[in-house]
Amino acid sequence: MKKSKKYGIPLLFVILIYVGYINYPRLNIVAGYSAKNMNSSVFLAGRDFEFTDNTDNNFSPVNLALDKVDQKEKLTTASVYGLLTRKAIYREGLGSVLLLDNNDRGKSELIPRRDRIENELSFPYGDLDQKDSIFDNVNYTKLEEAINNAFDILYLTRSVLVIYKDQIIGEQYADSFDKNSKLLGWSMTKSITATIFGVLQKQGRLNINDKAPVTSWSHDERAKITINDLLHMNSGLEWDEDYNSISDVTKMLFLTKDMTKIQEEKPLVGKPNESWNYSSGTTNLLSGILRNQFESHQSYLDFWYTELIDKIGMHSMLIETDLSGNYVGSSYGWATPRDWAKFGLLYLKRGNWNGEYIFDESWVDYVTTPTTGSDGQYGGHFWLNAGGVYPDAPKDLFSANGYQGQRVFIIPSLELVIVRMGLTEEPIFDFNKFLKGIISSIN
């Protein structure tokens, strides 16, 4: 027995060290996610520590991390078993960011200049309440039932907003949320990023059919890749979009200082315009390409807001930047459901916002044209129903989609914009059933 104890304890110690070593990279991602998500939720969205810990960060394996919040420094830390600690800090105007070393904290950063012009208009062109409008062809009882069904306790839905002919005909929020709550759109931010290209194209400042202006590709096969290929996720570049492992996307979001570079450095594994592959790295590469369209970093930061976001009154929106100051255009856009809906309405109106075209009408046709190889599911940084993913919804439906079931659905044939935000997606949340219920309430 004594001999067993003599060798058993060191062996157990060695096993624990080995297990820790093998899982250390994964712990880095887990702690990074927890620290970043906690920081954004508390300091950007204004929610408290306990709520975030019990909801947004309460899923495996992220719930393994122990979080702490420093209100004075606007700093959060997350530790997993005491083996690894990650930190995130909030920067006014730029949002939260994961730190890679202690030298990252004190940097002076430029911040975007916002244009928050107040007006006396009602939603959607202003923020005043709408006048009550009753549509004879809307079955409000059936609509309310469809919305209520989305708030089943299993679905973790936080908001549903239904807009028909510019009027809010249905709006509901979970406990602790309301019309002023900022919610993370995750990959819905990709559609914002793509729209900036539409704005620049309208202004004659770039042509999306040109070769992608990436200097490091100039002497190899990647030189054939166009901006159009990148916008359609059809570049042929290698990329692994797996959130359940140490993959390209998790390394980019949680271990990288400059998120615009990781996709740029990948080799060509397919042919441009023939190899559809969904890639968050591609969107952040596009953010880097956008940065190079401006003479100064300040101009890059300002343009997203002055020419799109604030121009259509999405004043609650904030797109977070990485440590190098680039917008994380793949993932980190926050806004209220009503402001996310304004973005959908802009596309429903084919770029015309209260008499001013933000982008050309043809841009809507561009982003809703299916990408080669996507089976009608994907266009220019928007998801499509052309292939019938939602069999009970019109084929002209297109949407901005995000992780955990964030959606802005745009249905031109029905003059509908539908926003759903929460913490679950397929198969837990049945989007076809959700859409069918809302659509069937309108004759």
CA distance 62 to 35: 10
Residue 145: phi, psi to the nearest 5?
A: -65, -45
Q: Which residues contact 10 (CB under 8 A, 6 or more apart)?
A: none
The predicted structure's pLDDT at residue 139: 97
* Mean pLDDT across 252-266: 97
| Domain regions of the chain by residue span | 2-104, 140-225+298-439
CA-CA distances (angstroms) from residue 270 to 218, 220, 352? 17, 14, 37
Per-residue pLDDT of 55-102, as tens digits, reads 999 999 999 999 999 999 999 999 998 889 999 999 999 999 999 986
Confidence (pLDDT) at 101:
82
Contacts of 129 (CB under 8 A, 6+ apart): 122, 123
SS3 193: helix
Q: What pLDDT, on the 0 to 100 scale, is given for residue 243? A: 83
Question: What H or E segment, with its residue span, contains residue 90?
Answer: strand 84-91
CA–CA distance, 290 with 308 (Å, rounded to integer): 14
Residue 196 to residues 12, 191, 200, 335, 412: CA-CA distances in angstroms? 56, 9, 6, 17, 21
* Residue 264: both structure tokens together: 């740029």
CATH class of 140-225+298-439: alpha beta
Q: Residue range 273-289: average pLDDT? A: 97
Q: What are phi and psi of 201, to 5 degrees?
A: -65, -40
The pLDDT-based confidence of 9 (bands split at 50, 70, 90) is low
Q: Is the pLDDT of residue 352 over 60?
A: yes
Q: What is the pLDDT of residues 223-243, one digit of tens each?
A: 999 999 999 999 999 999 998
Least confident of 115-119, 351-355, 393-397, 404-408: 115-119
> Mean pLDDT, to the nearest integer, of 257-282?
97
**Extended beta strands in 182-332, E state:** 183-184, 318-319
**pLDDT computed for residue 22 by the predictor:** 43
- Which whole number is the average pLDDT over 248-265? 96
Closest CA to 311 of 290, 286, 288, 339: 339
**pLDDT surpassing 60 at residue 311:** yes
Strands 356-357 and 383-384, by their bridges, are: unpaired
Cβ-based burial of 335 (10 A; exposed 0-12, middle 13-18, buried ≥19): buried
Percent of the chain with pLDDT over 70: 93
Contacts of 274 (CB under 8 A, 6+ apart): 234, 236, 372, 373
**SS3 per residue for 423-439:** CCCCCCCCHHHHHHHHH
- Give the H/E segment covering residue 416: strand 416-422
> Looking at residue 15, what is its pLDDT?
40
Residue tagged 């040109």 (tokens): 210
> Is 408:414 a contact under the CB 8 Å cutoff?
no
Residue with tokens 């907003």, as numbered in its chain:
161
Banded pLDDT at 119 (limits 50, 70, 90):
confident
Task: Reply yes or no on whether the pLDDT at 23 is more than 80.
Answer: no
DSSP SS3 for 293: coil
In this prediction, residue 16 carries a pLDDT of 37
Position 21 scores a pLDDT of 42
Q: Which residues of 128-150 are buried (b: 16+ CB within 10 A; e: fewer)?
A: eeeeeeeeeebeeeebeebbebb
Instruction: Give the mean model confidence (pLDDT) for residues 425-434.
Output: 97
- Mean of the per-residue pLDDT values of the chain: 93
When pLDDT is cut at 50, 70 and 90, the band that residue 245 belongs to is confident
Structure tokens at 131: 């006048």
Torsion angle, CA of 103/104/109/114, rounded to 10 degrees?
Answer: -160
Pairwise CA distance, residues 375 & 425, whole Å:
21
**Alpha helices, DSSP H only, in 92-244?**
140-149, 188-202, 227-231
Question: Which residue, among 365, 364, 312, 363, has the nearest Cα to 203 in the 3D structure?
Answer: 363
234/271 Cα distance (integer angstroms)? 8
Task: Report pLDDT digits (tens) over 145-188.
Answer: 999 999 999 999 999 999 999 999 999 999 999 999 999 999 99
Asked if 160 and 171 count as a contact pair (C-beta separation under 8 A), the reply is yes
